[in-house]
């Protein structure tokens, strides 16, 4: 079995901890978590299933036969309905308990209980199942996964990731010792646990241009364990002013593939997969994105941003989206002058922050305009106006210092999520801020919240079950995983 990863929403984590620690007499307690399993193989990366928590069921007193500070015995018969749901809804059964006064690791009794539960599920649903076990002890999650085909083998998870701010990463299996000299300064600044935590993450980078190439390159040097690069563009000579790792000899080559070659050549532990694809039209690339814990949006493509915006809710991910804006006017001599220019960093989680629509980063009309241009590259502005379409975004020339600086701030944002170091002024939003390159200031523009927003307010897409990927038939049906 591969090295799996678990993801919990902050609300799920908090509810579980409050319940497990809340017995009035300090007894051990238990709960069931139903997981969605994303069983996705990404070429170039080690197999690592994602288990995303969908539902929590507390085993309250009505389930219990007996309990104490060192044991919890409960009825199995009521679990049959949950076993049925696991089979019919393609969910994975997870058992959660705590050790209020016991050891901080799984015990021999835990082994016996897990095997008994696994066999009960296996007898009901067949051997092609997996089973998750989680232990809360001394303020830390320990977790492991068993398979119906090899029940005696318990595989420790790579990490348990809680999507909170700051992030909580438990049980991480890092690799900073492999390149201790490279990561020595990261350890000096943030501690070895930080380097090991970032090494346990799989990070997607959508767009490998002016912001994506420096971000992916510096991310590899910072110790990100795995990266998924997605971009279907070819390198143009005009790109050479700001792209990292690419040269004149690479002009005409695919950006994502050449960037992978460059990162691989550095000789670090980061493993990289690259896709020559548009994220909104390639099911294989979208599946690779779904396998990620964190996604950096480094594209000016509104259709692609729309996909990332819904994906963060469906796949329980962190989205850090980058953009540049500005305005150029001519001076009295006819020479261009930057009136303002900024880099934007938006940080969104399923339960935290406004979505890209509510931040006014994307609009439906901009998406429709872009789709119209794809269908008819020669369409005129007048024809667009006749269809009530308009281009979006702001004038922002791709100049190396600005694109790279924005990427640096974005990667530092991930650092701050893992090990907080920033002190935000009261006027600065944590879900979106801008770096002003002309006035040399940090700011956040205020947006009016939409209480009817299906993404960040109504949560229509949160942990949504997919028949088609992201509910879009053009992206194809899900296979064995849902």
Length in residues, the chain: 482
R_g over Cα of the chain: 24
Give residue 373's pLDDT.
85
Give residue 323's pLDDT.
93
Question: Mean pLDDT for each 10-residue chunk of the chain (482 residues)?
Answer: 91 97 93 96 95 95 84 85 94 96 87 93 93 96 96 96 97 64 85 92 96 96 96 84 80 88 93 96 95 96 95 98 87 81 96 96 89 82 70 72 94 97 93 94 88 95 92 80 48
Dig out the tokens for 52 from the structure.
């995303």
3-class DSSP state for residue 157?
coil
Dig out the tokens for 116 from the structure.
């008994």
Give residue 342's pLDDT.
92
Nearest to 201 by CA among 183, 187, 220: 220
Question: Distance between CA atoms of 73 and 64, rounded to whole angstroms?
Answer: 6
Give residue 1's pLDDT.
56
Q: Give me the DSSP letters along 413-437.
A: HHHHHHS------TTS-SSEEEEET
Give residue 436's pLDDT.
93
Nearest to 344 by CA among 296, 418, 410: 410
114-132 in b/e burial notation, b at 16+ Cβ within 10 A? Answer: bbebbeebbeebeeebbbb
Say if residues 315 and 290 touch (Cβ distance below 8 Å): yes
Taking the CB of residue 337, how many other CB atoms lie within 10 A of it?
12
Give residue 73's pLDDT.
85
248-260 in b/e burial notation, b at 16+ Cβ within 10 A? Answer: eebeebbbbebbb
- Cα separations (Å) of 88 from 50, 84, 118, 125? 20, 6, 17, 9
Phi and psi based region of residue 267 (left: phi greater than 0; alpha: psi -120 to 50; beta: remaining): left
pTM score over 0.75:
yes
Give residue 237's pLDDT.
83
Maximum separation of any 2 CA atoms in the chain, in Å = 86
Nearest to 276 by CA among 262, 264, 258: 258
- Cα separations (Å) of 410 from 205, 344, 378, 405, 407? 12, 9, 35, 9, 5
Give residue 446's pLDDT.
86
Segment 166-221, tens digit of pLDDT: 999 998 765 555 567 888 888 888 888 999 999 999 999 999 999 999 999 999 99
Say if residues 343 and 434 touch (Cβ distance below 8 Å): yes
3-state DSSP of 339-384: EEEEEEEEEEECCECCCCCCCCCCCHHHHHHHHHHHHCCCCCHHHH
Strands (DSSP E) found in 39-91: 50-59, 64-68, 71-74
Nearest to 271 by CA among 170, 158, 168, 358: 158
């Amino acid at each position: 079995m591969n090295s799996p990863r678990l993801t919990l929403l902050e609300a799920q984590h908090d509810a579980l901890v409050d319940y497990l620690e809340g017995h009035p007499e300090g007894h051990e307690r238990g709960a069931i978590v139903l997981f969605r399993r994303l069983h996705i193989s990404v070429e170039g990366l080690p197999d690592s299933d994602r288990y995303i928590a969908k539902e929590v069921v507390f085993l309250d007193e009505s389930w219990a036969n007996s309990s104490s500070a060192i044991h919890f015995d409960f009825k199995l018969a009521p679990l049959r309905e949950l076993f049925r749901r696991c089979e019919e809804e393609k969910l994975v059964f997870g058992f959660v308990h705590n050790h209020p006064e016991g050891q901080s690791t799984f015990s021999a009794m835990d082994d016996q209980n897990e095997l008994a539960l696994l066999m009960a599920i296996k007898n009901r649903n067949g051997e092609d199942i997996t089973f998750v076990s989680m232990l809360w002890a001394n303020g830390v999650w320990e977790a492991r996964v068993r398979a119906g085909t090899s029940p005696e083998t318990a595989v420790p998870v790579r990490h348990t990731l809680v999507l909170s701010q700051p992030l909580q990463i438990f049980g991480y299996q890092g690799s900073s010792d492999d390149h201790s000299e490279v990561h020595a300064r990261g350890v000096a600044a943030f501690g070895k646990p930080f380097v090991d935590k970032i090494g346990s993450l799989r990070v997607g980078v959508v767009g490998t241009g002016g912001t994506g190439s420096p971000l992916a390159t510096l991310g590899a040097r910072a110790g990100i364990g795995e990266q998924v690069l997605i971009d279907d563009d070819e390198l143009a000579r005009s790109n050479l002013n700001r792209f990292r790792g690419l040269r004149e000899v690479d002009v005409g080559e695919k950006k994502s593939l050449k960037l992978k070659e460059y990162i691989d050549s550095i000789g670090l532990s980061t493993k990289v997969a690259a896709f020559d694809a548009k994220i909104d039209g390639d099911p294989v690339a979208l599946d690779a994105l779904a396998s990620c814990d964190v996604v950096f949006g480094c594209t000016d493509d509104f259709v692609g941003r729309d996909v990332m915006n819904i994906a963060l809710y469906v796949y329980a991910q962190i989205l850090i989206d980058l953009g540049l804006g500005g305005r150029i006017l001519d001076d009295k001599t006819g020479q261009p002058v930057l009136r303002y220019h900024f880099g934007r960093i938006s940080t969104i989680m399923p339960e935290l922050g406004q979505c890209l629509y509510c931040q006014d980063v994307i609009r439906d009309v901009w998406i429709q305009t872009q789709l119209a241009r794809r269908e008819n590259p020669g369409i005129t502005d007048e024809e667009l106006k006749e269809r009530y379409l308009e281009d979006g975004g702001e004038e922002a020339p791709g100049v190396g210092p600005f694109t790279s600086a924005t990427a640096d701030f974005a990667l530092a944002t991930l650092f701050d999520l893992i090990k907080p170091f920033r002190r935000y002024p009261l006027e600065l939003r944590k879900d979106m801020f801008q770096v002003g390159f002309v006035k040399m200031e940090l700011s956040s523009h205020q947006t009016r919240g939409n209480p009817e927003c299906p993404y960040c307010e109504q949560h229509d897409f949160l942990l949504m079950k997919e028949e088609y990927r992201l509910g879009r038939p053009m992206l194809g049906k899900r296979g064995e995983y849902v």
